Amino acid sequence: MLGLVSLATAIGVRAQVLTPADVVRPDTLLSGEWRGTVVTANGMRYAVLLLVEAFSDGLCDVKYEVAGVTAGPRRMRTASCQHSSLLFVDDSTNGAFTGKLLSAEGVIDGVWESGRTRSELRLYAVSRPRLRIQDEAGPQPYVERNLTLTFSGGQRVGATLCLPDTAGTWPLMVLVSDRGIQDRDSRDPSGHRPFRVIADYAAERQWAVLRFDDPASGCTAADLVALLDRVARLPYVDGTQVILVGHGEGGLSAVKAAAQRPAIVQGVICAATPAVDGRVWITEQIRVADALVGIDPDVSRAAADLVGVWYDIAASSKTVDEQIAAIGRATDSLLEVRQDLLSAYSLATELQSAQRDRLIENRLLPWLYSYRDVQADSIGGIINDADLPVLALLAEQDAVVPSEIHAAAWRVTQQSEPSTTVEVIQSVNHGFQPCVKCTGEEAAHSSTTIAEEVLDRIVSWGNQRVGR
């Protein structure tokens, strides 16, 4: 990294200057917003946004933003855009990007470096409108009503109810989002709106569909029960013919809520919903993510084993201070014999710094607790006790909820509860988008938000459950 900064100084790259438009011509090919995904050595993925204003003499002004890392856009202190060759350096954060504009393909290919992270980065222009073939266009055969609903703790949330534009009372499909803050469309950073697409598809096929904002860390079962008790009494909705569709951990909340309202809910669709304990889930995630970025399998196994030890410590009854100390000792012990982890994972190096205890307390432990607290492996028992019909849809190319281990766990539930159906959809990612390489960039630039077969399966299974 220091080499890049020194190189920038040595070749005399000029500091960023905004040149008046009447002196030089704007570079319309390069100017604009560009988005890509950086993959760190330990498999973590971060969305990177570059905002470029370039000119024909090679001067350019560049700002960048890393989702979850920078607090808003930062300006690259040095930038050169000569002859489609790019060099951006922010020596205040020890970060840099070198790359080349491939105008024929409309992409920028290069390398992102920050600290000890070095990642290939392909950037796509995002300032221009993208075609989303499943977004609604023109008049639709349904109406939308905006509502305000209340979670169990009294928090008010916005919601949208789609209703077929004909007289009648309709079965209701309720969409429950994955972990994290989500709007009612479950909009992702690239602009895909999967819940909007599901609502459009189902409402056209004579379903009422409810989707709602989730401003907290995830809709709990208690929150969902409170919503069900309210929406089941809405006009034009058949309050005894409800199907819940939960994505990711939203499926866990949906199953728990359905078990408490058997007179209302006729079935649950769990899409990419975990079904194994947190330790198995987190270590398998590492294996899949490492394979994606080409980390040596032996190194990956060592890292996964260490994370398993961390998980056990986080799940223990030790105090936080004791957990911090135990994680530090376990890390030191492994790194004494596995120095190769230092070159493969930037996190391993960070855990050798003077800030280690703060890093463990503020980043590692909350991450480990989130898997410990999910208790995804309890879902089978809930389904069996409630005799609840469930369709579990897994995505073959899912790096978040790896399909191999989670499908196997779901099939164990299927053996004891025949009303559970387990299906693995081929060649789709965690969001059930069709994909080839299944990278974040491919997903962001896909014109398809959800595979058509998945939309059809959601509606057809729902129809079966409500007797249509």
User: pLDDT tens-digit profile of 324-371?
Assistant: 999 999 999 999 999 989 888 888 888 988 899 999 999 899 999 999
Closest to 332 in 3D by CA, of 346, 308, 361, 352: 352
Q: Mean pLDDT throughout 405-414?
A: 96
Handedness of CA 339, 344, 349, 350 (dihedral sign): negative
Closest to 385 in 3D by CA, of 420, 411, 409: 420
- For residue 468, what pLDDT band results from cuts at 50, 70 and 90? confident
Res 300: pLDDT: 92
Examine the pLDDT at 302 and tell me if it is beyond 50: yes
Whole-structure pTM value: 0.73
CATH tag for 142-276+375-465 (out of 3.40.50.300, 3.20.20.70, 1.10.3720.10, 3.40.50.1820): 3.40.50.1820
Q: Mean pLDDT throughout 288-292?
A: 83
Under 8 Å CB-to-CB from 124, ≥6 apart: which residues? 34, 35, 36, 106, 107, 441, 444, 445
C-alpha to C-alpha distance for 184 and 175, rounded to whole angstroms? 9
- For residue 203, what pLDDT band results from cuts at 50, 70 and 90? very high
Examine the pLDDT at 249 and tell me if it is beyond 80: yes
Which runs of consecutive H residues, i.e. helices, occur in 239-296? 250-260, 278-293
Examine the pLDDT at 414 and tell me if it is beyond 60: yes
Examine the pLDDT at 272 and tell me if it is beyond 70: yes
Res 126: pLDDT: 72
Tell me the pLDDT of the chain averaged across its residues.
Answer: 86
Examine the pLDDT at 141 and tell me if it is beyond 50: yes
- For residue 129, what pLDDT band results from cuts at 50, 70 and 90? very low
Examine the pLDDT at 4 and tell me if it is beyond 60: no
Res 217: pLDDT: 66
- For residue 137, what pLDDT band results from cuts at 50, 70 and 90? low
pLDDT digits (tens, 9 = 90+) for 210-227: 999 987 767 899 999 999
What CATH number was assigned to the domain covering residues 2-125?
A: 2.40.128
3-state secondary structure string, 10-32? HCCCCECCCCCCCCCCECCCCCE
How far from chain centre, in Å, is Cα 464?
Answer: 30
Res 7: pLDDT: 25
Under 8 Å CB-to-CB from 187, ≥6 apart: which residues? 193, 196
Please report, for residues 49, 193, 194, 298, the alpha-carbon distance to residue 188 in angstroms, rounded to integers and kept in the order given.
Answer: 14, 7, 8, 34
Q: Mean pLDDT throughout 241-266?
A: 96
Q: Mean pLDDT throughout 101-122?
A: 81
Q: Mean pLDDT throughout 386-401?
A: 94
Query: What is residue 36's three-state secondary structure?
Result: strand
Examine the pLDDT at 18 and tell me if it is beyond 60: no
Under 8 Å CB-to-CB from 257, ≥6 apart: which residues? 221, 222, 224, 225, 228, 244, 265
* Percent of the chain scoring above 90 in pLDDT: 52
Q: Mean pLDDT throughout 80-97?
A: 81
**How many Å is the Cα radius of gyration of the chain?**
25
Query: What is residue 65's three-state secondary structure?
Result: strand
Examine the pLDDT at 82 and tell me if it is beyond 70: yes
More confident call, 266 vs 125? 266
| Owner of token pair 């000569």 | 82
More confident call, 6 vs 419? 419
Examine the pLDDT at 1 and tell me if it is beyond 60: no
**Cα 239-243-244 angle, rounded to 5 deg:** 115
State the burial class of residue 348 (Cβ atoms within 10 Å of its Cβ: 0-12, 13-18, 19+). Answer: buried
Examine the pLDDT at 113 and tell me if it is beyond 80: yes
Extended strands (E) in 386-427: 390-395, 420-425
How do the domains of the chain map onto residue ranges?
A: 2-125, 142-276+375-465, 278-374
